[in-house]
Chains A and B, each alone.
Chain A
Amino acid sequence: MTYHTLLLILVAAAAVAAVMARNLLLSAIMLALVSVGASLVLFDFQAPWAAVFELSVCAGLITVLFVSAVSLIRHEESKVAENRARFYAMPLVMGIVAIAAWFYAVPYFESLEDWARLGGRANTLGTVIWDIRRFDLLGQVSILAAGVFVVNSMFPRRKKQK
């Protein structure tokens, strides 16, 4: 059991907890924990920039979004009669899947690993972002613009009131 595996187990456990939590707010917080775990994994992979992004945006911004959504629909939550039995069955199902995956998926991934080819050039993140994947930045601009318009289109009156 390495530190790396432990982190992954943490992420998986947090994910299961996020699904199983009866309270939506708790779910949202567990989701944040998943993000934190993922960002730790990224740090472990020597990917600090991605990790910082993950930590700030996913664990921060998205959690804020979720929490505010939860607070908006809070009193409706109890009306949705969830079938809790399905959620309680989750650890069992996860366990079965885990065991099955150990026997079936792991050999598959091992064989997949044989196909790996090394990406030779050691570029810095800066060159990758600015030179190689420059058009992705355009895409990012597009999606941010789209996001603004979506929110604008969904809540026009609220904006006016402000």
Chain B
Amino acid sequence: MNPILIPVILPIAAALLVLLISEKTRYLKELLAIAVSGVALISAFPVISQALFGTCMEFSARWAGYGIDFTLKADKLSSFILLGVTFFAFVVSIYSFSFEKKGSAKWFYFNLLLTQAFSAGAALADNLVAMLFFWEGLLIFLYAFIALSKPDQSAKRTAMKAFLINAVTDLAMLAGICITGYIAGTFSMTGIAANKLTLNGWAALGYVLMLIGAVSKAGALPFHTWIPDAAVDSNAPFMSFIPAALDKLLGIYFLTRISVYLFSLNGVAQLGLMTLGALTLLIAVMMAFVQTDYKRLLAYHSVSQAGYMILGIGTLNPIGIAGGLFHMVNNAVYKSCLFMTAGSVERQTGSNDLSKLGGLFGAMPLTAICYIIAAAAISGIAPLNGFFSKEMIYTGALNTGYKWFFIAAEVGSVLTLASFLKLGHSVFFGKRPEALKDTREAPFSTLLPMIILAGVCVAFGFGAKLPIDYLIEPSLQNLGLSHEEVLAGFHFNKLFWASIVVILVALINHMFGLAAGKGAPSKASDHIHYAPALKEIYSMAEARVFDPYEQLMKRVPSAAGLLYKVDRFLDYLTDDLPSFAVNAFSKTSQRFHTGSYPLYMALTIAGFVVFILLTATYGGIK
């Protein structure tokens, strides 16, 4: 078998196997999932080494015809994403091993493995239709994942929200792919890349539609609203697996593919992308800053980080794109890690509310250290990985000549750091509440993945050369970009000093907030939250005035009332009438099959008499 198929097929087979394992067995499903994702991870290595040092692997099978083939191709960029997908699946399946609140273990691992397999497929697919197939498959498992994560109704509602938002954007993407494929005359990405499309006429529409699919997967504005809700209504492994890691990987991957690989963009599109990125990062970070729920805060941050990546890709110059891609993988690493710390804090204390937590450093030192490393990384403190990727994005933004985006990104950085100071302070430092006296450190299986991820943060920081040389640089080559700048390495330039300024500003802000909040770290953001003009905006945001989905849902009843009559009629035509007819026929047939032999015999005889008469008359004997 072609090794490229292993990361796709093996988890699917394992998922089906998991369903067959009885719910009563302990650890069997968990161990199976860990083993399978481990094997998938290992099998990703030969794929990537082939892509880097040899000819890239390919698998092709005839599928539906009309240029729609089932083609998987592990080029440098795809195999990079594949490595990420399998790595996070492995880490999360270890993390979930002893995580109790993951719903039915059977379905959890079923969804996890299938999500992994379909993500791997989406990353590897070379044919746009094949990619769409995997992409739409992910939609189903997204719904199932959220809906089955908790038994109550809120999980189902949030699942529906996530499903609808993604379904609409996936439909846009479907239309975009159809248009693009029609214009280009092929659905093969390699084929389209051979002569890139330009943005005019229908091609522009196709690009925009596909862009909607890509950025909504990455969680950009205004398609992000389900992520904070899911943070509350779902569980930590899900959050650290899908919104934090896989969605970013796939969304940014596809964004890069269409923006750089398939289309050659013009200045307007560049400006549009960068504006989208900047808006996303600013608005989301503003929202994140005032949250008081551990996971909800992280969820807004994962949206804001998507803004950085879109900004980076949107610069369209090599260093910006390299920064976007590097930030994508960095973000996945530390955001997963942060969600895992959230999960383990929730597991050990039973709460996510910042005002009820505090002083956990003594009780959970390893978790706290992991948190500190990851938080420092996300805030862009040198020399952790986040610093390098942000620096590259800043350079890219500066190179385009639009200074405003650079400033917006720096403001975002300030707020990011400030909110993590607040978060860390209120969870791990300060005074420990009475209720949490007996808190203990999380179990080993929960700690291990966090430690791995924090280690990756440090390693990608100090050794940033390694991922840049072996993952980012080849991806740029793959996209056909060449550049003069040296990407890796530590620069004592003005950007470093800018980051120091950012740290100082954030620290001062935190001190000020603490003073204003009378020493309660969870209220350290109140001075901005309740600032004169912002207060109203925030309260409107809390009331979900800016959430297109909720707004749309509010309009639904009245619109539905209008459409009700039409719908009833159509329903009658398509549903009631056929089912009534089918039922009537079915009843007749039931009454007919009386088991009476003479009736059957008469039927048989009548049947053959008619048959013989027909064949004899029309058989052409005479």
Contact = CB atoms under 8 A, between A and B. Distances in A.
Interface in A101-159: 108, 111-112, 115
Contacts of A115: 621
B483 to A, nearest CB: 79
A35 B616 CA distance: 30
Contacts of B621: 108, 111-112, 115
Contacts of A108: 616, 621
6 contacts: A108-B616, A108-B621, A111-B621, A111-B622, A112-B621, A115-B621
B447 to A, nearest CB: 68
Nearest to B617: A108
Nearest to A105: B616
The 6 A-B pairs at the shortest CB distance, nearest first, are namely A111-B622, A111-B621, A112-B621, A108-B616, A115-B621, A108-B621
A115 B621 CA distance: 8
Interface of A: 108, 111-112, 115
Contacts of B616: 108
Interface string B603-622: 00000000000001000011
A112 B620 CA distance: 11
A112 B612 CA distance: 14
A115 B616 CA distance: 14
A40 to B, nearest CB: 29
A104 B622 CA distance: 13
Contacts of B622: 111
Contacts of A111: 621-622
A11 B65 CA distance: 65
Nearest to A112: B621
A93 to B, nearest CB: 14
Interface in B578-622: 616, 621-622
A51 B616 CA distance: 31
Contacts of A112: 621
A103 B621 CA distance: 17
B390 to A, nearest CB: 83
A51 B567 CA distance: 76
A141 B616 CA distance: 36
A108 B612 CA distance: 13
A160 to B, nearest CB: 33
B609 to A, nearest CB: 12
B613 to A, nearest CB: 10
A112 B622 CA distance: 8
B597 to A, nearest CB: 13
A156 B498 CA distance: 98
Interface in B323-338: none
Interface string B112-149: 00000000000000000000000000000000000000
A111 B621 CA distance: 7
A141 B536 CA distance: 96
Nearest to B616: A108
A111 B616 CA distance: 11
